[in-house]
Amino acid sequence: MAYIVPRPELTFKEKAYLPSILNGLKITFGHFKKMMRGETKVTMQYPEERWDAELPEHYRGAPTLVKDEHDRERCVACQLCEFICPPRAITIKPMEIPADDKFAKVEKRPAEFEIDMIRCIYCGMCEEVCPEQAIFLRKDYAITGITRAEMVHDKAKLYELGGVFKGLVHKWNPEK
């Protein structure tokens, strides 16, 4: 069953749109006056001014890899982040640690670790699932590149962006 909605008849003043235009201009001139008095700031001069101080604590930026205080890889190439990534932006190729190495108990480490920043949706699932806290979302919103190849961050680039994270690493703990 269809409902018929009656439309009200517009007056000549309403048909001319003049009151609506004048109301819009009134709002615009009000904003202009506030801006000229310095009461509001309209634009941010982006490269010189940034939002870094105002970013909330829960902000999720681009994922990066971190090392420990002794400049060792925290990643154990468990591939949990690769499996949990919804857009499949993470690619890990593990390699075995030699048996004569001091940390052979870990079994493997990443030979290649790539994150395609074009595919990444910054959901944070990779950070949550990492058992060694090797992957973190940094507080950066300016991720740029001229080509698609520049937007695929390899292991070296991820460590460069990530830096050092202090704390217990189960990988290097001899008691684990």
pLDDT tens for each residue of 125-159: 999 999 888 998 888 888 888 999 999 999 999 99
* Fold that domain 53-172 belongs to in CATH: Alpha-Beta Plaits (3.30.70)
- CA–CA separation, 172 vs 56, rounded Å? 33
Domain boundaries, the chain: 11-42, 53-172
pLDDT tens for each residue of 60-116: 889 999 988 888 888 889 999 999 999 999 999 999 888 787 767 777 889 999 999
